[in-house]
Amino acid sequence: MANMYERLLGDTYKNLHPELQKRYAITEENSFTGEGKMDEIYGGSFFVKFILKIASKFRMFFSERGEEIPFTIQNIAERDEYGQELVRWNRTFYFHNKKRYFNAVMQLDENENEIVDYFGEPHLLVSTLHFHIDELGAMHISSKKQWFYMFGRKMPLPKFLYGEAKIVESYDETLQCFRIHVQVRNPLIGSLFSYKGTFGERE
């Protein structure tokens, strides 16, 4: 069976760089674990960092910033209690004597043909995502509608509260590694957080 992202993108999945095609081929039989370094984790005012510090209790965002930060990423596909496929995105960042997490679960809404991303443990924020592939074979992901999630219910967020995310994942032929660049902004207060770095698949 085709992986979730191939089903979403259809024939355009073949336009992904071959290494990214393998990277996103996440199924119940095929997980992915990567490790690398963030060149820089930056952005966010004092107030934003205060909010993100609270969010870190739910393994959803964090307030720490820095350069050359080691990190790991693990993607695992499994089924929920209703038999629906999901893909876990578990990211761990190593700041000196502490670890911070940025965890989410993605599911494909077959009816709308879009990915729904559930952030945090337990889930507190939900966003639909738009995926497209550029002419160089990089994956671009951007957020769309967003909700606050509580007691199994989604409550729409007003747009001025959105965390608008833009993600680009590419493959560097020279260094033979993946590149990731994430930027999250709010329409009113600007940058919430950003990070960029490189990683490879763990042997």
Asked if residue 109 has pLDDT above 90, the reply is: yes
Confidence of residue 203 (pLDDT cuts 50, 70, 90): confident
CB 31 within 8 A of CB 75: yes
Percent of the chain with pLDDT over 70: 100
pLDDT in tens, 111-133: 999 999 999 999 999 999 999 99
Structure tokens at 141: 């992901």
Question: Can you give the pLDDT at residue 51?
Answer: 94
CB 156 within 8 A of CB 32: no
Residue 103 sits in a domain of what CATH number? 2.40.128
As beta bridge partners, residue 154 has 149
Which domain does 141 fall in, by range? 4-201
Torsion angle (degrees, nearest 10) of CA 185, 122, 130, 176: 80
pLDDT in tens, 146-196: 999 988 889 999 999 999 999 999 999 999 999 999 999 999 999 999 999
pTM: 0.94
Confidence of residue 102 (pLDDT cuts 50, 70, 90): very high
Q: How many domains does the chain have?
A: 1
